[in-house]
Amino acid sequence: MAFLQMTYFSQALAKTTRMNLFLPEHEKGPFRSLWLLHGWSEDCTAWQRFSSIERYAEPLHLAVFMPDAHLSFYNDMAHGPAYFTHITKELPEMAARLFPVSQKREDTFIAGLSMGGYGALKIGLSQPERFAGIGCFSASNFAEGITTKGSPLRRESPQWFGWMDNIYGEEFDHLMGGKSDIYALGDAALKAGGPLPKIYHCIGTEDGGYQPAQLTRKYFEEKPGNPFSYRYEEGPGVHDWRFWDAHIENCFRHFGLL
């Protein structure tokens, strides 16, 4: 596959930013596409550095877009750049102009790990008409986890609360039920009555976020008829690339790509 490193100016972010991507180089498009999101401590280089995503995507003729979202929780930050708008609107429009990718819903997928897994759920459930599948690796409804005292996802430190203020501002005190709440987004997608994305969710049993992930699992598994075609997997593992890389193909299989 061809590996591209892009540096470009974003109107939504009002700054220069980066995106890395893999493109099939010996086939003719339009290609199916996967938007692949990084975690809290990483950037747009993480997936190609630490996983075998290129090897998994190549036989599927799948274009893989890996944008940078800084420490944003994939939100339009209260005191910072508008990363949600950038990734959900600006980047897809740019990709459609520059690359031979299909614009069909059945050819478009999104996935991520940790913060990016939450971001994939948030973006995918906000735009169910756009995505056929959502992959959530080692994540959960972080809107619930970071606002619940005693949660392993919450940090009681001035630095952590400073980050949350930058991201959410006053919204932090009422995340549940709002635009950052996975349950509210899922309920809204169901109520809209349109097509729903398949959801793949996995986490290691020794992961620090295991218990919050069980609450998210409960939400989806209790929906009558499994409308999101929700599939959950767990196994021995912690919050690391060894676990995430081992589950990429299972995610693709659930999407129907394998």
Instruction: For the beta carbon of residue 67, count every other beta carbon within 10 angstroms.
Output: 25
pTM: 0.97
CB 15 within 8 A of CB 9: yes
Span 83-135, pLDDT tens digits? 999 999 999 999 999 999 999 999 999 999 999 999 999 999 999 999 999 99
Q: Can you tell me the mean pLDDT for 205-219?
A: 97
25 CB burial (10 A radius; 0-12, 13-18, 19+): exposed
DSSP line for 202-257: EEETT-TTHHHHHHHHHHHHTSTT-TT--EEEEES--SSHHHHHHTHHHHHHHHT-
Show me where the domains of the chain are located.
Answer: 2-255
pLDDT the model gives residue 12: 97
Structure tokens at 33: 């596409």
CB 216 within 8 A of CB 181: no
Span 146-172, pLDDT tens digits? 999 889 899 889 999 999 999 999 999
Mean of the per-residue pLDDT values of the chain: 97
Q: How far is CA 3 from the centre of its chain?
A: 21
What residues contact residue 150 under an 8 Å CB cut-off, 6+ apart?
none
Structure tokens at 1: 């596959």
Tell me, what amino acid is at 223? K
Q: Which of 78, 77, 8 is nearest to 44 (CA)?
A: 8
CB 199 within 8 A of CB 230: yes
Which pLDDT band holds residue 204 (cuts at 50, 70, 90)? very high
Class of domain 2-255: alpha beta
Distance, CA of 61 to CA of 65 (rounded, Å):
13
pLDDT the model gives residue 240: 98
Q: Which residue is it, tokens 């929700």?
A: 230
